[in-house]
Amino acid sequence: MLYIVSNTPFDATPKTTHLKLCEVKFFAFETADVPSFDGVVFTSKNGVRAFCQQSHFRKTCAFCVGEATAKAATEAGFAEVFAGAGDAATFKCELLEQIFKNEKKEGEKPRLLLIRAQKVAFELGEFLRKNDVFVKEVVGYQNAILPHSPLLKSQKPPKNAQILFTSPLNFEAFLWHFGWEESYHAYAIGKTTARAINEHETTHATAYICQKTKLNACIEEILNLSKL
């Protein structure tokens, strides 16, 4: 059995179990100045959802961390959409390359609106500012770990389980609810998630990084790899 720790729905199979250990809370924010930016940066589909709940403006470029986020931005109606390779650690360089393609007047910085979570694994805004980009950061949503409950406690995977983590917070939530068994096999979507697993001080786990970044494709990859 493959356990998927994620907030994102996926195509369920008899060989998979969904563990939802976090919930998303969206925040209101000011959007009147959105047209003054050269683009909006999204590091997740939740960022797109947060923006669309507050603004109807779509005549701008959506810079997205990966294909899944780009798909959400395209479906939301953005005029132009850029999709990164799907890894937060490399997205920063991909983003710089894209925004500096368009020539600016001397002394004029690119202006980006970054829709981010309350807690982030990588300070993208700080990185962009250090590279001569004007960035306005907006906290559009929060990923929160669900409280303990008898129902969640009963869902703890057995020993030797195969477990796919879709974000560092989902890994953190799993540890908080269930702890870690040495016999568990960890899989990660993206290098940032893998790093959170591999560098954890107490679990000593080593995560396999999926070649794809879309959830359904990762599930298929793991099922083929582990022959479940």
Lowest-pLDDT range of 15-24, 193-202, 211-220: 211-220
| Torsion angle in degrees (nearest 10) through CA of 28, 29, 34, 36 | 180
Interval 76-91: pLDDT, tens: 999 899 999 877 778 9
The reported pLDDT for the residue numbered 204 is 86
Token output for 200: 């954890």
Residues 6+ apart with CB under 8 A from 21: 5, 145, 146, 152, 170, 173, 174, 177
The reported pLDDT for the residue numbered 209 is 93
Interval 162-206: pLDDT, tens: 999 999 999 999 999 999 999 999 999 988 899 999 999 888 899
Question: The pTM is what?
Answer: 0.81
Backbone angles phi, psi at 44, to 5 degrees: -165, 165
Counts of helices then strands in the chain (DSSP H, E) = 8, 11
Q: Measured in whole angstroms, how far is the alpha carbon of residue 22 from the centre of its chain?
A: 13
The reported pLDDT for the residue numbered 105 is 60
Using CA atoms, how far apart are residues 158 and 98, in angstroms rounded to an integer? 45
Closest-CA residue to 201 (of 173, 172, 165): 172
Residues 6+ apart with CB under 8 A from 120: 43
Q: Which residue has the tokens 């960890």?
A: 186
Q: Which residue has the tokens 């980006």?
A: 112
Residue type, 85: A
Q: Is 203:194 a contact under the CB 8 Å cutoff?
A: no
Using CA atoms, how far apart are residues 157 and 19, in angstroms rounded to an integer? 9
Closest-CA residue to 29 (of 137, 121, 119): 137
Using CA atoms, how far apart are residues 187 and 181, in angstroms rounded to an integer? 14
DSSP annotation of 34 reads G
Q: Which residue has the tokens 């500012």?
A: 129
pLDDT confidence band for 25 (50 / 70 / 90): very high
Using CA atoms, how far apart are residues 71 and 50, in angstroms rounded to an integer? 15
Interval 94-146: pLDDT, tens: 999 998 876 666 668 899 999 999 988 778 999 999 999 999 999 999 999 99
Query: In the beta sheet, which residues pair with residue 64?
Result: 42, 83
